[in-house]
Amino acid sequence: MFVDIFSGVNTDRITNTRIFIASRPTVEYMNAGGDHTADEPREKCGVVGISLADREAARPLYYALYALQHRGQESAGIVTHDGFQQHSHVERGLVGDAFEKGDLESLSGGTGIGHVRYPTAGSLDKSCAQPFSVSFKSGSLGLSHNGNLVNADEVREELAAAGHAFTSDGDTEVIAHDLARNLLEEDLVRAVKHTMNRIHGSYSLAITHDDTVLGVRDPLGNRPLCLGKIDGGYVLASESAAIDTLDGELIRDVRPGELVVLDPDGQGYDTYQLVERESTAHCFFEHVYFARPDSVIDDNLVYEVRRKLGRKLWEESGVESDVVMPVPDSGRAFASGYADAAGETTADGEPRPDGDAGIEFAEGLMKNRYVGRTFIMPTQDERERAVRLKLNPIRSTVEGKSVTIIDDSIVRGTTSTQLVELVREAGAEEVHLRIGAPAIIAPCYFGIDMATREELIAADASTDEIREEVGADSLSYLSIDAVAEALGESRADLCLGCVTGEYPFDVEGEESDRDLDAVTPDPAPADD
């Protein structure tokens, strides 16, 4: 159905502006904004855009979404354009469930965008599923968004006062409305710049304007976005693994504040540096947890970063034990790097004596990959039981041994407690816990669904108190400086809000020691 996004406004230029959304059933869930019972950060979203010559974009978009499935499992969708009209298919569920036989054939055209979603803002029903589609006097618009705006309510109120009618509570629709309004008066580049100067927060965007595909990355580079070459055209994606899936070649990361416009015929692209900042605020958690290990983000292969972090973990807090084992799957590269470093030096930093191989690396926890999300279980006891359904220790690996467990992070601490219990019950004599990231002490407002400050175990507890709570013989986190060094970045160029409480954006109700003047939206007009 078509729904007017402007109501009660008698302006010829805007009365024909309409937003297209599919009929959407209302579904109730435990929490709008995500599963807050899970003891782990939840995925963000993934975006992709493709422009091809002489072949349909739908199937490559479909494959790319599969490659980005780890970034969101709530919904999946594709919007294409055939040069005459826009086509859209958006459904709840995994990529394989959202598209049935014949759906891809209906998405004609050589250009298009796709999206996989895990909700961090807005409701969980289909009304916030993406891509978001708009049809208006200047053409059609599709928009996929990874990130979170901190001034969405402010911009929404301004637009509503100007006559815009909203159909969802998500911040993606706010961006779509603002961009559609600007496109009525300005060319594509100026319209995008004007919108970038109004929205405040983290975002990477894949956009279609008729048959033109464009990508935009927020001025601080908080959310990842990269550009690649594939057979017959070009692709924009949240992670380079999606480009690899299409047998493509990574060209480079989209720069913070940059607009990339793909030619509709798939023959090339243009770039525009629309906003520049003196510093960045890259999300370090992409490398610690979210991104696929085989992805390259901001010139760093995620797998190698995690191995470096594991080596630094040994250098900073290594403990002599019989075996080191990862929490599958995100802890594997950390544990590999940790074990390698332990084979070179002792915990005191001295070279290993001849014949001393260091600490054995072993898979001591096996993961059941067919267990659903724990939040569907009605009681806390059942949710705790789910850890045993998901992970099972290998007794021969741990029995009678001193064991070091490597995990990527601790959120509430409940999973860590249960892991330590599992390994002890399997016969471990000592259990040491090493974490490949700094302690999470504050919530994230920029696209990660972690937990509230009250739910974070490290928000008001010391490391030793946490160690006692989870039942480990020792516990150590990685330092912030080690993370920055592994990424080849300064602390000033990373978003560290979740581990310092200091945010790169002015968040209502939160204090920040960062230089907010550097990230205030540029008041300059869009055409300068």
Within a domain: residue 348?
yes
Buried b (16+ CB within 10 A) or exposed e, 413-433: bbbbbbbbbbbbebebebbbb
Do 231 and 318 belong together in one domain?
no
What CATH number should be reported for the domain holding residue 426? 3.40.50.2020
Q: Tell me which of 166 and 466 has the higher pLDDT.
A: 466
Label residue 54 exposed, middle or buried (CB < 10 Å: 0-12, 13-18, 19+): exposed
pLDDT of residue 166: 83
Residue 424 in this model has a pLDDT that exceeds 90: yes
- The mean pLDDT of the chain is 85
pLDDT at position 379 is: 58
Q: Is pLDDT larger for residue 28 or for residue 2?
A: 2
Q: What percent of the chain has pLDDT over 90?
A: 68
Distance CA 384, CA 422 (A): 12
pLDDT of residue 518: 36
Among 281, 314, 349, which residue terminates a domain? 281
Tell me what pLDDT residue 41 has.
58
- Which CATH number do you get for residue 120? 3.60.20.10
Same domain, 243 and 319: no
Q: How far apart are CA 326 and CA 387, in angstroms?
A: 15
Number of domains in the chain: 2
Please tell me the predicted confidence (pLDDT) of residue 1.
30
Residue 483 maps to a domain:
yes
**Mean pLDDT of the 262-276 span:** 96
H or E element: which one contains 385?
helix 380-390
Residue 26 scores a pLDDT above 50: no
Residues 457-497: tens digit of each pLDDT: 999 999 999 999 999 999 999 999 999 999 999 999 999 99
Residues 258 and 348 in one domain: no
pLDDT value, residue 36: 37
Q: Please indicate, yes or no, whether residues 217 and 348 belong to a single structural domain of this protein.
A: no
Mean pLDDT is highest, among 135-139, 283-287, 378-382, 449-453, for 283-287
Active site residues: 45
Assess if residue 305 is contained within a domain: yes
Q: Looking at residues 517-526, what average pLDDT do you find? A: 33
412 and 374 share one domain:
yes
498 Cβ contact partners less than 8 Å away, ≥ 6 residues apart: 285, 440, 441, 442, 443, 444, 448, 450
Instruction: Looking at the structure, tell me whether residues 350 and 259 fall in a common domain.
Output: no
Same domain flag for 268 and 410: no
Residues 276 and 337 in one domain: no
User: Residues 325-334: pLDDT tens digits?
Assistant: 999 888 999 9
- Boundary of a domain, candidates 281, 316, 349: 281
Angle between helices 302-317 and 480-487 (to 10 degrees): 140
Same domain, 164 and 195: yes
Tell me: do 331 and 376 sit in the same domain: yes
Any domain includes 24: no
Domain assignment of residue 514, yes or no: no
Q: Is residue 227 situated within a structural domain?
A: yes
pLDDT tens digits along 236-257: 999 999 999 999 999 999 999 9
Q: Are 136 and 268 in a shared domain?
A: yes
Positive or negative CA dihedral for 516, 519, 525, 528? positive
Cβ-based neighbour number of residue 48 at 10 Å: 32
Note every long-range contact of 151-155, with CB atoms under 8 Å and residues 24 or more positions apart, other chains counting. Answer: 151/199, 151/200, 151/201, 152/121, 152/199, 152/201, 155/198, 155/199
**236 in a structural domain:** yes
What range defines the domain where residue 311 resides?
A: 301-500
Using an 8 Å Cβ cutoff, are 180 and 207 in contact? Answer: no
Look at residue 527 and tell me if it is in a domain: no
pLDDT digits over 301-359, tens only? Answer: 999 999 999 999 999 999 999 999 999 888 999 999 999 999 999 999 999 998 898 99
- Same domain for 388 and 454? yes
Per-residue pLDDT of 66-118, as tens digits, reads: 999 999 988 999 999 999 999 999 999 999 999 998 999 999 999 999 999 87
Give residue 7's pLDDT.
38
Sorting pLDDT into bands at 50, 70 and 90, what band is 399?
A: very high
